Structure 1
Amino acid sequence: MGSHSNAEKDESTDATTRRGSLSVTESNTDCDGDVLPPPPPPPSADVSQFEEGEKVLANHKGCFYEAKVLEIAFKDNEWNYYVHYIGWNKSWDEWIGHDCVLKHTEENIEEQGIKQGVKSAMAWRVSKLVELPRSPNVDDILKKYTDSKMKKDGRVSNSVEEILKGLRCYFDNALPVMLLYNNERKQYEENISGDVSPSTVYGAEHLLRLFVKLPELLIRVKMAEETLKELQDEFVDILRFLKNNQSSFFVSTYKAVEEMEDLVSK
């Protein structure tokens, strides 16, 4: 009787062991029953994945920006990083947690754009602030354009000079109102004060934004059709000039090229 009871106990134990073994196996298989590889071990808390001086992607208010790691500290049971956002004033430097930092790779840049959609991908691009003051600035570019017209035609008409003067004035007034992204406001306040004109600080990147806005702005202005046509022709000529000199005018041309081609073809 005792041996029979022990046999039942052993059988029960074997069944439990088999069920336990089956459970482990099932938890490590996919829907087709194929065995999955074991999950990778968690990163060691003893070693930071990033180094001081390393260029990274840092998350600030839900959007990733290029940044540089200045300091590293292990606190609150995780690695923390004091980062400087590249192109930003140092007043934006801050401590962020490990989950807010990514390796600076093309794959991560592309992945963030895909994850956040087209609108956020555009935000990612513009979030890379242009360092100010720009060289050449808007004044320099318009002067170079005037020189190129003089070289080509031997003269610059009074009407062209007036158009360029009006364009510069329009740029100075429009920039703080409609040509800045939210993350550029602080940078504007730090660089424009007193008698400083935006056209002496900003460059081709922001001038191009004005050209994007001009069609809708010109619709609201009452002027003779002939004058409007002359303006449009001159603006297209300036855009061609920007496109032909994109390598020396723009910090980065990947987005500017698309916009200029669209505008020139209209």
Structure 2
Amino acid sequence: MSTDQVAEPSTSTASTSKPSVVKTSTSKGTLNTLVSPTTHLQWKINEKCLCYHGPLIYEAKILKIRNFTPEDTENGEIGPNFLVHYKGWKQTWDEWVTEHRILKFDEAGIAKQKALSQSALVAQNAGAAGKMKDSSGKTISNVAGPSISAGGSTRSGIRKESTRGTKRAREDDDGHHARRAEMKLNVPEILKVFLVDDWEAVTKNHQLVTLPRSPTVRQILGQFEDYVKTTTTTHSLPSPALLTHTICAGLQIYFDRSCGMSLLYRFERHQYADVRKKYITGPQVKIEESSDIEMSSIYGGEHLLRMLVSLPQMIANSQMDGESISLVKEYVNELLRYLESNKDSIFQREYDTPSESYGNTVRS
């Protein structure tokens, strides 16, 4: 968490429909501070909330609310900011955050917190990364952040990461350095939100991704390959002309082999069976037409993202050497940035609601 602490503005306890504005002179200019305890939309000072920090969501409390102007440089984002304290952590972890990182402390917010918790790696004990299962029994993992228990606890066995370093809990993994290098990914914040929304749409709202998707996984990887080869000035990937095609082809193979086994939620399995029957195994499918069809030609960005965050666990169980792991990590991190930049054209915003008969079949 950020250690930057902003000078405390004077506050007022008056409650009005329109917040009072106090101008405080500092060495950096005039600051406008929102001071009413009922300021800005739905948030109140001393309100319990949930707050994103890195890849996970933590229980927190809003201590102060302030409007940052262009003259402020402490936070980096202009507009309403909220000083939050994370429950169970020292005050040194208090930080100013923008509104998009705060969730209401209600059932919906807690559901998102649990979804992220379930997709985090189990605390690295006994020299091996563990696995967790969601409510459908599907094994999932998320390499984006610290380990956390299924209940969303932020206590021992967890570490929080920030720009000023790593805060370790009392328990440490003595065997960590004895293991070979791990593949740690930097998943952009917006993609973490997509993962949670994707989980919620399928497992809670009983909706489905439209299939076939456009663009497909194969098309996305092909577009990424072209991007890497033609825009070398925007990245520092090693030997893009030689390695990009090989790595993208390998990612496609990983996707095709893992899609049916580990990338689907329970509610999607019947859809997967229907897809295979329609395009690959059904009695009406001609062999010459199905020979080149793989799941990467049918599924899209939503399932590719699921595969990418699970990739470190897959590679941990492989015989890949450390140098190769390092190369794949660089390319996958660049792919994640590419997905973030092209999110509007890659990811589906509205999922399909299946027929009642589909739901009955899944539940039977």
| TM-score of the pair, normalised by structure 1 | 0.49
Q: Which has the higher contact order (CA 8 A, sep 6+)?
A: 2
Q: Which has the higher helix share?
A: 1
Larger Rg: 1
| TM-score of the pair, normalised by structure 2 | 0.36
